[in-house]
A = this chain, B = another copy of it.
Amino acid sequence: MKWSEIGGTPCSVARALSVVGDRWVLLVLREAFMGVRRFEDFRSRTGMSRRVLAERLTALVEEGVFERRAYSDRPERFEYRLTAKGRDLYPVLVALLNWGDHWMADEEGPAVELVHDPCGATVHPVQTCPRCGQAIDPRAMTPVLKRDLRAT
């Protein structure tokens, strides 16, 4: 199976990955959540090649994760802003951040910390059950398969 076919799968994880399951895309999203909007800023802060950045941004705009809009005519210049669909990827980034902070840390401590404005605390958000409010433990979750994940 080629990667490009993965989005045709009925699995939501696979479909999400068809959009977002790319090394560079996730780094671009990290920057977007830090407020970056411009091509050159994405490029210099992630260190990716222009080639790949241009390609990824185009794809993300097509997927509706970013919106491309002019911030200047003469000369024409564009910026990339997260849409609601893009903003909803925040939990993915936070989950990666938490895991990196926990398992890939060095002595100097995390480079980025998250402050929850309403309560003012520096936090690592946790996943909880929206029904009972308990923190999620993987072993307390049962995945129920409704369809073959490979079917079309």
Please give the residue numbers on chain A whose beta carbons come within 8 Å of chain B beta carbons, in ascending order: 1, 3, 6-7, 10-23, 26-27, 30, 33-34, 45-48, 85, 87-106, 108-119, 121-134, 136, 138-150
Stoichiometry, copies per complex: 2
Tell whether A99 pairs with B130 under 8 Å between CB atoms, given A1-B47, A90-B138, A111-B10: no
**A105–B33 touching, CB < 8 Å:** no
CA distance A33 to B149 in the complex (A): 14
6 A-B pairs with CB atoms under 8 Å apart are A10-B108, A92-B95, A95-B95, A112-B145, A114-B144, A119-B134
**CB nearest neighbor in B for A133:** B133
B96 touches A116 (CB 8 A): no
With A and B bound together, what is the CA distance between A33 and B142 in angstroms?
9
**A112 with B47, Cβ < 8 A, contacts A88-B99, A117-B140 known:** no
